[in-house]
Structure 1
Amino acid sequence: MGQRMLASAEWLLLAVALVWGTSYGVAKLALEHYPVFGVLAVRFILAGLCLLPALRAIRWQAWRAGLPMGGILLAILLCETWALQYTSASNAAFLISLCLVLTPLAEWLLYGQRPAARIWALVGLSWLGALLLTGDSAMHFSGGDALMLLAAVLRAFGVCWLKQLADRQPATAQALTAMQCWAVGLGALALSASQGGLPPLPRDPGFWLAISYLAVLCTVCAFAIQNYALRRSDPSRVALLMGSEPVFGALFAWLWLGEAMGPLRWLGGGLMAVAAVMATGGGSKVEKGVGEKEEVGVVG
């Protein structure tokens, strides 16, 4: 019975990695119909409505932590979503995985927790992969690649900051996710108002299919499934399965969006995925960082 539950949890985690990997390509499709602020506002308000029951009986102290957490997530998502307008979905999926290798470096800068020597080797491996993925040298980095790299850095620091905020209040992970969704959605609306407001909502069914996928599957369902599965699997298996996210993203972009992926790009992306898996599964400090990310509700 225990082995069956473990196998079930691992299949569920693989499903989450698949859904999150495809989210970059789906978001790119949504951006063909609506601007960045609008896509974020509609996606996260819809997700917030789905999670509305989790907000019952939440005390003000929890909101004081949840709203800043939403602000951090909004900054990360703005970088990610803008980046998708200027880079490929496959590049985005691989570059964001750098956050797993950069998290221990962020812990070092913020808290003085020096990473193990092997982390430096993994950082070098990731950078080599990034160079192969985006071109023969850093000069080939597009503006979108640079924005996605900034998003990875923000995610690495965000994991540390979000953990601190989450530790100061008693709300459940689901309630924190709901607060983050509302903060992102309303924050995106406020930012759009400062730029003259949003155009009318698109009527194209493709837009609403993409937004529903992002809000319901990539946010609400993926987080609930992940919470269930994380309690029934061990960190190394979690790292291996979640490390497959960028590979799924590249496969989706190649098969569905028709993005070109030559041998060097596959090699570079593969090196980054390997570095992410080794970083999250190979040392206690880094496993702790990944666990922190999952518990406080950073959504893909």
Structure 2
Amino acid sequence: MLGSLEIGLYNTTGTTAQAWGLEVTGATRSAFLIQASALFTPMLAAVGGQRLTTNAWLGSALGLAGTLAVVGDTTQGGAGFGAGVSGGDLLTLGAAAAYSAATVRIPVYARRVQPLQLALGKSLFLGAVSCAALGLQVQQHQAHLWDGWRDGWQGWAAIAWSASGPGALAAYLHVQGQSSVDAVTAQIAFSAVPLWSALLTALLLPGDSALGPLTWVGGGCMVIAGVVGVLPPKPTPAEAKK
């Protein structure tokens, strides 16, 4: 129960902040910014007492450089350094921090209980909060969900897919994977998020994919950060001799 509540709280906070940020930030830009978890995950792991390698700290530095580069890009919804960071950027970075907290804490519980139990528990927490928020929204807006919600099945189909695929299935696979690997190692898989998002956005939302060079450079730094952060440390002379 404690694991479900804690991980569910991180997941709910991250999902809410990311969805809110996507209202003002493009999908591809958001995918690059969410990769700031390459910076947050090692830092939170260190705070939790995990001993990090030099490569992990180097990966964190690259993640920070990548995040600053993406935030400084003004091409797609970004305010740039001169105008300050946009609200959508801050919300997405907050989501990255929440997801990183979940990544760090999941192994603590996933090694004690069945991964399916933990995934189910955190999903139930997220579902309960989401239903409560939906109820408040419907009450305040007199049953108004979004423009054209009665006009077709496409919107409801997208919601159903989001709940079953990226929602339930991803939650189970995430917990199952982290039952055997630590948080920093898991980060290498998440480093591919911007690449998949850019590809899917180009296919499904072609008008959203206009990115400036700073975003691509920053995204590249984040991907490299995720890989560098999990490279094994250089063996000492004694270890190399063995």
- What is the TM-score with the length of structure 1 in the denominator? 0.60
Is the 1:87–1:145 contact (alpha carbons within 8 Å) kept by the matching residues of 2? Answer: yes
Amino acid at match of 1:149: L
Query: Could you tell me which residue of structure 2 aligns to residue 126 of structure 1?
Result: 63
Cα separation, 2, equivalents of 1:153 and 1:266:
21
Deviation for aligned residue 1:236: 11
1:282 paired with 2:231, answer: yes
Query: Could you tell me which residue of structure 2 aligns to residue 217 of structure 1?
Result: 165
1:148 paired with 2:82, answer: no
Structure 2 SS opposite 1:261: coil
Go from structure 1 to structure 2 and tell me whether the alpha carbon gap of 1:238 and 1:119 turns closer, same or farther (over 3 Å shift): closer
Pairing of 1:177-216 with structure 2 (within 5 A) = 177-193=119-135, 196=139, 199=143, 202-203=149-150, 204-216=152-164
Go from structure 1 to structure 2 and tell me whether the alpha carbon gap of 1:237 and 1:71 turns closer, same or farther (over 3 Å shift): closer
Deviation for aligned residue 1:162: 3.8
- The structure 2 residue matched to 1:88, chosen from 9, 13, 26, is 26
Amino acid at match of 1:184: L
Is the 1:108–1:115 contact (alpha carbons within 8 Å) kept by the matching residues of 2? Answer: yes
Go from structure 1 to structure 2 and tell me whether the alpha carbon gap of 1:277 and 1:138 turns closer, same or farther (over 3 Å shift): farther
Is the 2:65–2:218 contact (alpha carbons within 8 Å) kept by the matching residues of 1? Answer: yes
Is the 1:126–1:271 contact (alpha carbons within 8 Å) kept by the matching residues of 2? Answer: yes
Is the 1:126–1:272 contact (alpha carbons within 8 Å) kept by the matching residues of 2? Answer: yes
Structure 2 SS opposite 1:87: coil
Deviation for aligned residue 1:181: 1.4
Any stretches of 5+ residues in structure 2 without a counterpart? 74-79, 234-242
Cα separation, 2, equivalents of 1:160 and 1:121:
18
Query: Could you tell me which residue of structure 1 aligns to residue 239 of structure 2?
Result: none
Deviation for aligned residue 1:146: 0.8
Determine which structure has the larger helix proportion and give its number: 1
- What is the TM-score with the length of structure 2 in the denominator? 0.73
What's the % identity of the aligned pairs? 26
Q: How many residues align?
A: 217
Deviation for aligned residue 1:166: 4.6
Pairing of 1:61-100 with structure 2 (within 5 A) = 63-100=1-38
Any stretches of 5+ residues in structure 1 without a counterpart? 1-62, 285-300
Is the 1:129–1:271 contact (alpha carbons within 8 Å) kept by the matching residues of 2? Answer: yes
Deviation for aligned residue 1:138: 3.5
Cα separation, 2, equivalents of 1:181 and 1:227:
11
> How much is the aligned-residue C-alpha RMSD, in angstroms?
3.4
Pairing of 1:1-300 with structure 2 (within 5 A) = 63-111=1-49, 113-135=50-72, 138-139=81-82, 140-166=84-110, 170=113, 172-193=114-135, 196=139, 199=143, 202-203=149-150, 204-223=152-171, 242-257=190-205, 258-259=207-208, 260-279=210-229, 281-283=230-232
Deviation for aligned residue 1:145: 0.9
Is the 2:39–2:61 contact (alpha carbons within 8 Å) kept by the matching residues of 1? Answer: no
Is the 1:72–1:158 contact (alpha carbons within 8 Å) kept by the matching residues of 2? Answer: yes
Go from structure 1 to structure 2 and tell me whether the alpha carbon gap of 1:96 and 1:67 turns closer, same or farther (over 3 Å shift): same
